[in-house]
Amino acid sequence: MTEFDRAVQVFINESLELTDDVEQLLLNQTLLDEQFSEWIDELFRAIHTIKGSAGLFGFDEITTLTHLLESLLAQMRDGQTRLDDGLLATLIESNDVVRQQVSALSQAQPLPNTESVVARLTPYLIQVITSSTEIHTPEPEKSVDDCSGVWHISLRPEPHVLEDGLDPIRFIHYLGTKGELEHIELVTESLHVSIKEESFQPQKSYLGYEIRFNAFTNKNQILDAFDFLLNDAQVEVLSPESSFDDYVALAERLTGSTDHLMSLWAGMSVITPEQYRNWQSHQCEPDSEPTYRPNIVTSKTLRVEAEKLDRLIDLVGEMVIMGARTNLLAHQTGNEPLIESMAMLERLVEGIRDSSLQLRMVQIGDTFNKFKRIARDTAQELGKHVELIVSGAETELDKTFVEKLSDPLTHLVRNAIDHGLELAADRVAAGKPNSGVIRLNAYHDSGSIVIEVSDDGKGIDEERVLSQAKALGLVHGEEVLTKREIWNLIFEPGFSTSQTVTDLSGRGVGMDVVKKNIELLRGNIEISSEQGKGSRFIIRLPLTLSIVDGFMFKVAGGDYVIPLDNVVECLELSEVLQGAQSTSKRYVHLRDEVLPFLRLAEWFGIQRTVDSEQEALIVIQLGSLRAGLVVDSLSGEFQTVVKPLGPLFEGLQGISGATILGSGEVAIILDIFALIQTALNPSDRVNTERFN
């Protein structure tokens, strides 16, 4: 990949992020109502950045459209064009087209046609021109910041700007197109570097710039010329009306020798020689080090390709496995210094593991924000009023989940609006506000990520669901189901309560796909509903798909692992069953709680190798659900690197993956949710053919 290709890829990534930011701003009604000036400035800045970058690469189609948007936003900022629902919809559509244009570049496809969106934008622009010709209106007053004369600009790029593809000289040349560059001086002493030093690196930027710029302009317009450099440089601007004291203050703000700058400015006629001499004579300690004002340190981010992170996690996983193997061998030798060293090495490996996994953790807020648009479009399509409330946006989860959760969450939000929320008239008749509420919430719980999608609609009509299930043959005869079992019927393939087929519902394909996709992430989904009050869908996922702290045990000679965070306690089964008439019972009384349990040997369909007196009971919990697992023996905590089992074992009930032990043997990782559900539902407990 050439340098140009890499630069284009950076433009594509940043522009896509900016279009996402623009969409969120356009959907942020609160900011629009309360802080219009800030809102319009943020929009203008994002569109201006895309336009400028596209112009640098010669992407004229993107430049043309963003220029129209920029002009329209300028009219709105000046109060010439009033924002209404129609214009807001046009701006959202225009931003969609800009995103499509940028996406087409990333896929090396022709850019989409913009005639339709330009046709929608043009009337708003023509309206201002027409009104100004038909009705005489006084010209707007010039900004009080506008000033004619020689401006002074001090530019101090960061050392890394050249490596990032940013050439300060090009920005200075661009500034020259807006006025006259009268004088430019290069500064090296102020950057504390000597070109003669052995540490000199040619790819670094070591120069600062002192610029005299003659134009009728203002400070903001000058800063706009350096827009793409502002995060990677210190840019100071003084107007033609600035006093000598202003220059003294500027010299103190800039990194380097104050005396050197004052001398340089005297040579540039920025200040007079007499002013410089008087300033020197008033310095109390001329030989002392100048007082520097610290620069503002901005947060820096490094963009890393996802594939590189995935490769890093894979290598860390292999290191964890090899560490376990080496630790086992160290214990077999009985060499105490070696065992102690391996313990220290294991702690370091754990630190590397945690830090590596943290690199892939992202806040879910960015994912939640996109649903504002989905909620808006779906509500408009259905003629409903909807408010989307987001909480827990700062909750972090693995980037893999973010990518794969988008479709399930999209369907749940659309389903809540379509099936859950009533029409405005029906809500008012039921004593509710005419606008329905969809809530997206995320939080951490017991080593898991929990995401909730809830609404304040009509809830699930259990009788209607049961009737439809019987019609489809999902429920037979007079079979009695609990509420939870009735709710779970909506996850059955082909199930739908819609009377007609629309673009949103009626085909019976959706909720079953939601459940399947979540289970593929080793997660589960539960439902809670109350008629007339609303419904809540609860998604529970592991913190990561790669490396987890596990708890290992044996069943019939085989090794099995479950997530350590789901383990509540471990007990001897014989003590818990003490005094019981039969050891074949399926539940125990544990601290005044009835706890159902599952004998894993029976569930696997294999012969038990120990009697009940030797068996152990592991109490596990997932959310509000709790059950026990009866195993042959306990092996203890184990750092687990999750390995997929491959397509042959996909959909195997109760299995979520495998891991490699230090001995080189394979241990099966069990699905906690499936085990608890089986313990709670006796009909699913024993299936001797499941693994045969």
Binned at pLDDT 50, 70 and 90, residue 136 comes out as very low
Q: pLDDT tens, 349-361?
A: 888 888 887 887 8
Which whole number is the average pLDDT over 504-519? 70
pLDDT of residue 683: 53
Q: Does one domain contain both 582 and 619?
A: yes
Does position 305 have pLDDT exceeding 80, yes or no? no
Is residue 467's pLDDT more than 50?
yes
Q: Are residues 330 and 414 in the same domain?
A: no
Tokens for 564, please give them: 């350590």
* Angle separating helix axes 399-415 and 511-520, nearest 10 degrees: 160
Stretch 314-342: mean pLDDT, rounded?
Answer: 87
How big is the CA angle at 43 (ends 392 and 396), to the nearest 5 degrees?
20
Asked, for residue 300, whether it belongs to a domain, the answer is no
Residue 16 lies in a domain: yes
Looking at the structure, do residues 431 and 348 belong to the same domain, yes or no? no
- Residue 659's domain comprises 547-680
C-alpha distances (whole Å) from 630 to each of 185, 446, 567, 604 are: 80, 22, 13, 12
Using CB atoms within 10 Å of the CB of residue 302, give its burial: 0 to 12 exposed, 13 to 18 middle, 19+ buried.
exposed
How many structural domains does the chain have?
5
| 271 shares its domain with 161 | yes
pLDDT in tens, 226-241: 877 877 888 999 999 8
**Do the beta carbons of residue 119 and residue 113 sit within 8 Å?**
no
Residue 441 pLDDT grade (very low, low, confident, very high; cuts 50, 70, 90): very high
CB 49 within 8 A of CB 66: no
Mean pLDDT of 331-340: 88
Highest mean pLDDT among 77-81, 395-399, 410-414: 410-414
- Based on the fold, state whether residues 25 and 164 are members of the same structural domain: no
500-521 mean pLDDT? 67
Bigger pLDDT: 199 or 105?
105
Could you tell me if 493 and 378 lie in one domain?
yes
198 within a domain of the structure (yes/no): yes
Lowest mean pLDDT among 8-12, 211-215, 412-416: 8-12
Q: Is the pLDDT of residue 396 over 70?
A: yes
Is residue 73 scored above 50 in pLDDT?
yes
Q: Is residue 139 part of a domain?
A: no
pLDDT digits (tens, 9 = 90+) for 104-115: 888 888 888 888
Q: Which of 74-83, 248-257, 324-333, 494-503 has the lowest mean pLDDT?
A: 494-503
Supply the DSSP string of 523-570, one letter for each residue. -EEEEEEETTTEEEEEEEEES-SSEEEEEEEEETTEEEEEEGGGEEEE
CATH of the domain at 402: 3.30.565.10
Q: What is the mean pLDDT of residues 634-658?
A: 78
Statement: residue 137 has pLDDT above 70: no
Residues whose CB falls within 8 Å of the CB of residue 77, separated by 6 or more in sequence, listed in order: 37, 40, 41, 44
pLDDT per residue as tens digits for the range 549-561: 889 999 988 899 9
Kindly state whether residue 166 falls inside one of the protein's structural domains: yes
Closest CA to 211 of 189, 242, 187, 241: 187
- Name the residue with higher pLDDT: 258 or 101: 101
Give me the count of residues in the chain: 692
CATH code where residue 264 lies = 3.30.70.260
Do 355 and 367 lie in one domain? The reply is no
Give the per-residue pLDDT at 291. Answer: 40
φ and ψ at residue 145, rounded to 5 degrees: -85, -15
239 and 329 assigned to the same domain: no
Task: Identify how many contiguous H helices and E strands the chain contains and give both numbers.
Answer: 22, 21
Show which of 332, 359, 386 is a domain's final residue.
Answer: 359
Q: Supply the pLDDT for residue 436.
A: 92
% of the chain exceeding 70 in pLDDT: 85
Over the stretch 141-176, which tens digit does the pLDDT of each residue have? 444 467 888 999 999 888 877 776 678 888 888 888
C-alpha gyration radius of the chain: 33
Range in 221-230, 265-274, 406-415, 680-689 with the lowest mean pLDDT: 680-689
Least confident of 55-59, 391-395, 554-558: 55-59
**Domain boundary, last residue among 106, 124, 142:** 124
The answer on 352 and 223 residing in a single domain is no
Dihedral pair phi/psi, residue 88, rounded to 5°? -60, -45
pLDDT digits 0-9 by tens, 408-423: 898 999 989 988 899 9
Provide the CATH number for the domain around residue 559.
Answer: 2.40.50.180
Residue 237, domain member (yes or no): yes
pLDDT of residue 289: 45
Mean per-residue pLDDT of the chain? 80
Domain membership flag for residue 140: no
Q: What is the pLDDT of residues 600-620, one digit of tens each?
A: 888 888 877 777 678 889 999
Task: Average the pLDDT over 464-475 and give the result.
Answer: 84
> What does the pLDDT read at residue 462?
87
Closest CA to 304 of 643, 641, 4, 9: 9
* pLDDT number for residue 682: 55
**Does residue 552 share a domain with residue 673?**
yes
Same domain, 31 and 158: no
Residue/partner pairs of 35-41 with CB below 8 Å, 24 or more apart: 37/77, 40/73, 40/76, 40/77, 41/77
The confidence score (pLDDT) of residue 145 equals: 63
Confidence at residue 213, expressed as pLDDT on a 0 to 100 scale: 92
Partners of 537 in beta bridges = 453, 527
451 and 532 share one domain:
yes
With respect to residue 290, please indicate whether it lies within any of the assigned structural domains: no
* Nearest-10 crossing angle of helices 244-253, 258-267: 140
φ and ψ at residue 531, rounded to 5 degrees: -60, 130
Q: What are the respective helix, strand and coil percentages of the chain, to the nearest 5?
A: 45, 20, 30
Domain edge (last residue) among 334, 359, 384 = 359
